[in-house]
């Protein structure tokens, strides 16, 4: 794997953005500033092959992708980056002690386990340091963490390999478009990169709402209403036959305002408003200045005035991106539709304190380690033969150098700040072991429940994704269509937010609260709220 993405400057790269119904593909190179595109095209995906971030028919997907690349004369072994998102992806902003990358990932796992009771062994964690600060004399990182299902990620890696391409990176769609805003001027407005905006990524079956501040992702949520539902009232008989929503074209532009199903549109706008209010109420000074829409944007002109009217916030498409040289003979190229694929070409450099999102990392590293082990074996043979020729003086110099290095490490260990950090890491590792043992118990419960006829895994995962960051869940109890959820939080408002989110879940019929207990620590004075929620599910017997 190329550890420093700077080496990829001025090299031809294939960028693929996977959406429901089609793959948006760009082929070009990025210099120090400018993106030079040579080709831009889409590959249509038949129904039943791909949906909401999951490859349903792998062999057919390979065939579809191979034919599309062949049609546009993309050579094999081309360096390839992809961007994906799925309903199972989970993102959080957390604060952790500033340590080396090897220790940082373990601390991140511990923190994520505290917020989300899922088995992290089934997910790939990727993180990105957004800022570094010092608090109470301790250097800390504010980190964006994204968890993606390991099997889903592996499918994309195998897909790229199966069509003869060379996979180097798999980005998260909100991060890709965030990099585009950070490094380029959008719509001739150089203040967008400094503003806090809501980025709306439209897909056929769902919408991704992301709050971006200075181009960094601060919050992201997938909503179950997408283009399919918004277009539903246009022609119910035709909609069921549509593979690509873009087939509606100009018909939709002229009929959107009068024919769109208001129930779906109102719910969509309500969700956008709720996300904005959630962010602006978290901290004083939080403010949203714009709503920017990308993705399946053809024919949605009527949606932008609705956003302006409903939220009193400026809404626009990504119509222009600075320093992008468009491909020749591609008159229908639109930045709004290819925004994620454009951002995916911006591979931020992987220095010790600047790490980009890459879900292919575990798979590429594994292959690299095999190659390294072969090289190391040869080097060991050469070293063994050369060792005979080393004289006493050379060995003495090496030993002296090692002694000085060891003494330097000893001095670092004696440093009070380092000691405090090591103690903190040890404490976090102990918490991680406890949480891991607890989580295995939860996982066994989940396996027992999902194997029965009473509860299915999608119910569990949907409930998990409804949990606010400030809430810790301690147990789920399933009995037929009834669910008892127990947990705690230091923020009473977060519990109210959990109740609100659960009431919005489609399969939740009723929600009742047996009780909330308030406790106060005598030593610290910290207040904690333990709660119990009862949930009745629809459609579960």
Whether residue 255 has pLDDT greater than 60: no
> What per-residue confidence (pLDDT) applies to 395?
55
Read off the DSSP letter of residue 8. G
> What per-residue confidence (pLDDT) applies to 377?
52
Residue range(s) of every CATH 3.30.1360.100 domain in the chain: 443-537
Instruction: Please report which confidence band the pLDDT of residue 329 belongs to, taking 50, 70 and 90 as the band edges.
Output: low
Task: Name the pTM for this structure.
Answer: 0.66
Alpha carbon separation from 463 to 149, 302, 442, 450, 486 (Å, rounded): 17, 33, 14, 14, 13
Residue range(s) of every CATH 3.30.420.40 domain in the chain: 185-320
Report long-range pairs for 312-320 (Cβ below 8 Å, ≥24 apart).
313/198, 313/276, 313/288, 313/289, 314/289, 314/290, 315/290, 315/291, 316/187, 316/290, 316/291, 316/292, 317/292, 317/293, 318/180, 318/186, 318/187, 318/292, 318/293, 318/294, 319/187, 320/186, 320/187, 320/188
**Ranges of H-type helices in 243-297:** 250-259, 262-280
Alpha carbon separation from 377 to 353, 368, 383, 385 (Å, rounded): 31, 14, 10, 13
* Distance in angstroms (rounded) separating the CA atoms of residues 350 and 353: 8
Instruction: Render pLDDT for 219-254 as a digit per residue (tens, 0 to 9).
Output: 999 998 887 776 653 334 444 444 454 554 444 444
- C-alpha dihedral over 289, 293, 299, 304, to 10 degrees? -20
Instruction: Please report which confidence band the pLDDT of residue 49 belongs to, taking 50, 70 and 90 as the band edges.
Output: very high
Instruction: Render pLDDT for 195-216 as a digit per residue (tens, 0 to 9).
Output: 889 999 988 888 999 999 988 8
Q: Quick one: tokens of 260?
A: 């769109």
Secondary structure (3-state) at 180? helix
> What per-residue confidence (pLDDT) applies to 87?
83
Does the domain at 443-537 match CATH 3.40.50.1950? Answer given as: no
Instruction: Please report which confidence band the pLDDT of residue 441 belongs to, taking 50, 70 and 90 as the band edges.
Output: low
> What per-residue confidence (pLDDT) applies to 454?
42
Instruction: Please report which confidence band the pLDDT of residue 121 belongs to, taking 50, 70 and 90 as the band edges.
Output: confident
Whether residue 282 has pLDDT greater than 70: yes
CATH of region 185-320:
3.30.420.40
Q: What is the dihedral sign for C-alpha 42, 47, 50, 53? A: positive
């Amino acid at each position: 794997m190329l550890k420093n993405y700077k080496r990829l400057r001025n090299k031809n790269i294939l960028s693929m953005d996977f959406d429901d119904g089609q793959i948006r593909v760009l082929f070009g190179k990025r210099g120090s500033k400018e993106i030079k595109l040579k080709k831009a095209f889409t590959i249509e995906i038949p129904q039943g092959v791909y949906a909401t971030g999951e490859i349903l028919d792998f062999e057919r997907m390979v065939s579809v992708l191979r034919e599309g690349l062949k049609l546009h004369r993309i050579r094999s072994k081309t360096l390839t980056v992809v961007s994906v998102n799925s309903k199972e992806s989970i993102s959080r902003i957390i604060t952790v002690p500033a340590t080396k990358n090897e220790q940082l990932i373990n601390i991140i796992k511990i923190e994520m386990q505290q917020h989300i009771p899922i088995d992290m062994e089934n997910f790939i964690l990727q993180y990105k340091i957004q800022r570094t600060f010092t608090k109470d004399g301790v250097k800390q990182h504010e980190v964006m963490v994204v968890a993606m299902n390991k099997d889903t990620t592996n499918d994309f890696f195998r897909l790229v390999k199966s069509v003869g391409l060379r996979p180097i990176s798999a980005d998260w769609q909100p991060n890709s478009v965030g990099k585009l805003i950070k490094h380029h001027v959008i719509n001739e407005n150089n203040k967008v990169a400094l503003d806090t905006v809501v980025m709306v990524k439209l897909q056929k079956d769902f919408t991704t709402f992301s709050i971006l501040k200075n181009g960094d992702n601060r919050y992201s949520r997938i909503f179950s209403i997408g283009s399919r539902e918004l277009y539903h009232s246009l022609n119910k008989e035709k909609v069921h036959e549509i593979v690509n929503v873009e087939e509606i074209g100009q018909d939709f532009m002229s009929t959107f305002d009068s024919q769109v199903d208001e129930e779906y549109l109102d719910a969509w706008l309500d969700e956008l408003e709720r996300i904005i209010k959630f962010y602006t109420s978290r901290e004083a000074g939080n403010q949203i200045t714009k709503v920017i829409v990308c993705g399946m944007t053809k024919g949605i002109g009527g949606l932008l005035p609705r956003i302006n009217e409903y939220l009193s916030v400026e809404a626009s498409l990504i119509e222009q991106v600075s320093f992008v040289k468009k491909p020749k003979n591609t008159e229908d190229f639109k930045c709004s539709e290819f925004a994620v694929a454009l951002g995916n070409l911006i591979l931020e450099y992987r220095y010790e304190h600047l790490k980009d999102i890459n879900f292919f990392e575990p798979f590429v590293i594994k292959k690299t380690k095999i190659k390294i082990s072969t090289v190391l074996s040869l080097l060991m043979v050469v070293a063994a033969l050369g060792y005979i020729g080393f004289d006493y003086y050379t060995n003495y110099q090496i030993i002296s150098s090692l002694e000085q290095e060891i003494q330097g490490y000893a001095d670092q260990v004696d440093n009070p700040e380092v000691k405090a950090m090591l103690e903190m890491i040890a404490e976090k590792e102990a918490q991680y072991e406890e949480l891991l043992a607890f989580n295995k118990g939860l996982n066994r419960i989940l396996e027992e429940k999902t194997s029965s006829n009473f509860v299915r895994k999608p119910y569990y995962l949907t409930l998990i994704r409804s949990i606010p960051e400030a809430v810790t869940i301690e147990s789920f109890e399933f009995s037929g269509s009834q669910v008892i959820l127990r947990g705690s939080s230091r923020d009473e408002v977060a519990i109210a937010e959990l109740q609100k989110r659960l009431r919005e879940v489609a399969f939740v019929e009723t929600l009742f609260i047996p009780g909330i207990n308030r406790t106060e620590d005598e030593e610290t004075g910290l207040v904690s709220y333990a709660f119990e929620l009862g949930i009745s599910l629809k459609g579960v017997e």
